[in-house]
Amino acid sequence: MAMPTQISLDELLSMVMARLDGVAVNQENMKSKFNIMGRVLYKKGLINDEDILDSIKEEHRILKELGMIEDLPPEDVLQSIADSILEWIKGDVDAIKKSLKEYEEKIREMQRQQAHKPRIDVASPAVLEQLNRMGANPQKGGGKIIL
């Protein structure tokens, strides 16, 4: 009978991180190909702004019919998605920079809001054992919640 192979947690994490890096590289590669093909089709006049918006609506309709989303997004959200795609296809660097700046500001605002929310800290088993020894009756068992 063959012995099971053992690997360390460090080795396992290294393998997972290598896979994750590969997925990230593949995603960037696919995004680049999509942008290039979109630009070619747009410049040739084979697709236009309305085609992009119609395709986004169709995608969301399909997702709704499949039960993957509950409701269709509002028209302004669909237009925002189309505008974002068109910025990349058209290569509108100024608009992309503006969008990235707005996105970064939203992220910072969310981080500020998260910093003000209450946190839940979990004590290690050693600290909990120490607290039990300090004041609890060991025969009763039970835990303590510290606020």
User: What is the per-residue pLDDT across 38-63, written as a single tens digit (0 to 9) for each?
Assistant: 999 999 999 999 999 999 999 999 99
Q: Does the residue 3 lie in any domain?
A: no
Q: Does the residue 125 lie in any domain?
A: yes
Q: Does the residue 90 lie in any domain?
A: yes
Structural domain tally of the chain?
A: 1
Contact call for residues 64 and 72 (beta carbons, < 8 A) = yes
Distance in angstroms (rounded) separating the CA atoms of residues 113 and 107: 10
Burial zone of 74 (CB within 10 Å; 0-12 exposed, 13-18 middle, 19+ buried): exposed
Mean pLDDT of the chain, nearest integer: 87
Q: Does the residue 115 lie in any domain?
A: yes
Q: What share of the chain is helix, strand, coil (3-state, %, to 5)?
A: 70, 0, 30
Q: Does the residue 14 lie in any domain?
A: no
Structural domain of 87: 47-134
How much of the chain, in percent, has pLDDT values that exceed 70?
89
Distance in angstroms (rounded) separating the CA atoms of residues 46 and 40: 9
Distance in angstroms (rounded) separating the CA atoms of residues 69 and 36: 29
Q: Does the residue 26 lie in any domain?
A: no
